[in-house]
């Protein structure tokens, strides 16, 4: 007999990258209700509409962002739904909890996207570093910017995942545990090849620590290490702090700037739906102006619009 709680079952079905932030948020709810014990063992599935609204208001009073509040709401509603499917939550409670509304989010309220010139400057300056660490970091930046991979996806890449002859890489540990083939643009191949020439094709993690110009093939770089590398390289090249997720935003924004349709951009980003992709769009109002200026009904002078004010 399965004695898992709805919370434990819900968390167990998530990829590690998704489980960590949700578990962290559930810990804050645990403290709010003064519960004791491990997150997985606690009765989050018993929370009702009023209690979840209370959590929502409390988070807002703490000054938490709409994204953070929505993450908490998602976890709590999903756990109640899991309890309903397990037969330990009744229909009335489940329907009431699903009525708790998410907070609206301004798509432009968070994150940055680099301009094309800043990307060129970043890659060029890193390329000029001829040390092994320079070749590695240049490859890291090129892959982030050319594929839009998430940080944990890049950290989990192995040498065997790279197929330069086919211009693709295999993402085996994507969000939601869904593997996918990711195309690589031609311009990025040089930087990948430069790194593989010094790293060699020895099996193992694609990116490794380097100590005293010695590559440590027996271990890979962590997600935290990738964050620090991107932060340091972008600060040195552009004077501003950029995160790996900002490079992902840059990738998506540049696809849209180059008139790639939203559906294709969504697939390239590994998103399950286009709504998520839209949140990453960092184009400004000039794009809307350019679009509206292309609106032309081909009236061919049939109507005299007169002078505009």
Q: Which region among 65-74, 119-128, 254-263 has the lowest average model confidence (pLDDT)?
A: 254-263
Q: Which residue spans within 27-177 are E strands per DSSP?
A: 162-163, 168-171
In a domain, 31, yes or no: yes
Separation of CA 165 from chain center? 27
Q: What is the pLDDT of residue 112?
A: 81
Res 135 pLDDT > 80: yes
- Mean pLDDT over residues 137-156, rounded? 94
Host domain of residue 147: 116-284
In a domain, 10, yes or no: yes
Name the token pair of 163. Answer: 């197929």
Residues 86 and 122 grouped into a single domain: no
Contact present, 251 and 269 (Cβ < 8 Å) = yes
Which residues are designated catalytic? 150, 175, 245, 248, 271, 280
Rg (CA), the chain: 24
User: Per-residue b/e over 168-185, b at no fewer than 16 CB within 10 Å?
Assistant: bbbbebbbeeeeeebebe
Contact present, 207 and 49 (Cβ < 8 Å) = no
Q: Lay out the sheet containing 180-183: strands in order across.
A: 162-163, 168-171, 180-183
Contacts of 97 (CB under 8 A, 6+ apart): 47, 48, 49, 52, 76, 77, 80, 81
**Best CA proximity match to 233, nearest among 149, 135, 299:** 135
Name the token pair of 33. Answer: 């209700």
Residues 141 and 16 grouped into a single domain: no
Q: Which region among 76-80, 90-94, 163-167, 290-294 has the lowest average model confidence (pLDDT)?
A: 290-294
Residues 237 and 133 grouped into a single domain: yes
Q: How confident is the model at residue 116 (pLDDT cuts 50, 70, 90)?
A: confident
Residues 85 and 126 grouped into a single domain: no
Q: What is the pLDDT of residue 225?
A: 94
Q: Which region among 35-44, 141-150, 275-284 has the lowest average model confidence (pLDDT)?
A: 275-284
Res 298 pLDDT > 70: no
CATH number at residue 152: 1.10.443.10
Residues 134 and 239 grouped into a single domain: yes
Q: How confident is the model at residue 1 (pLDDT cuts 50, 70, 90)?
A: very low
Q: What is the pLDDT of residue 252?
A: 86
In a domain, 300, yes or no: no
- Mean pLDDT over residues 269-278, rounded? 71
pLDDT > 70 fraction of the chain, expressed in percent and rounded: 83
DSSP 176-228: GG--EEEE--HHHHHHHHHHHHHH-S-SSBSS--EETTEE-TTS---HHHHHH
- Mean pLDDT over residues 296-308, rounded? 52
For the entire predicted model, the pTM comes to 0.62
Q: What is the pLDDT of residue 67?
A: 82
Query: How many domains are there within the chain?
Result: 2
- What does the pLDDT look like over 85-99, one tens digit per residue? 999 999 999 999 999
- Mean pLDDT over residues 47-51, rounded? 96
């Amino acid at each position: 007999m399965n004695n898992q709680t709805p919370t434990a079952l819900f968390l167990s079905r998530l990829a590690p990258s998704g489980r960590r932030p949700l578990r962290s948020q559930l810990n804050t709810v645990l403290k709010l209700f003064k519960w004791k014990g491990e997150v997985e063992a606690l009765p989050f599935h018993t929370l009702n509409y009023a209690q979840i609204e209370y959590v929502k208001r409390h988070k807002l009073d703490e000054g938490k962002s709409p994204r953070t509040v929505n993450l908490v709401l998602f976890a709590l509603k999903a756990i109640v739904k899991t309890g309903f499917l397990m037969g330990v939550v009744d229909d009335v409670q489940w329907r009431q909890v699903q009525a708790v509304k998410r907070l609206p989010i301004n798509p432009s309220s968070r994150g940055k996207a680099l301009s094309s010139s800043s990307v060129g400057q970043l890659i060029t300056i890193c390329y000029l570093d001829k040390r092994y660490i320079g070749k590695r970091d240049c490859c890291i930046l090129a892959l982030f910017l050319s594929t839009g991979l998430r940080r944990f996806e890049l950290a989990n890449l192995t040498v065997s995942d790279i197929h330069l002859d086919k211009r693709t890489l295999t993402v085996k540990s994507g969000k939601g545990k869904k593997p996918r083939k990711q195309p690589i643009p031609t311009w990025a191949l040089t930087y990948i090849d430069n790194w593989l020439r010094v790293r060699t094709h020895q099996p193992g993690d694609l990116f490794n620590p380097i100590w005293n110009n010695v590559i440590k093939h027996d271990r890979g770089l962590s997600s935290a290490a990738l964050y620090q590398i991107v932060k340091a390289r972008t600060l040195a090249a552009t004077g501003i702090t950029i995160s790996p997720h900002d490079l992902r935003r840059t990738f998506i924004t540049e696809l849209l700037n180059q008139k790639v349709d939203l559906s294709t951009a969504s697939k390239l980003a590994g998103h399950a739906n286009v709504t998520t992709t839209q949140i990453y769009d960092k184009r400004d109002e000039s794009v809307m102006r350019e679009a509206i200026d292309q609106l032309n009904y081909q009236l061919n002078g049939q109507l005299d619009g007169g002078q505009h004010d």
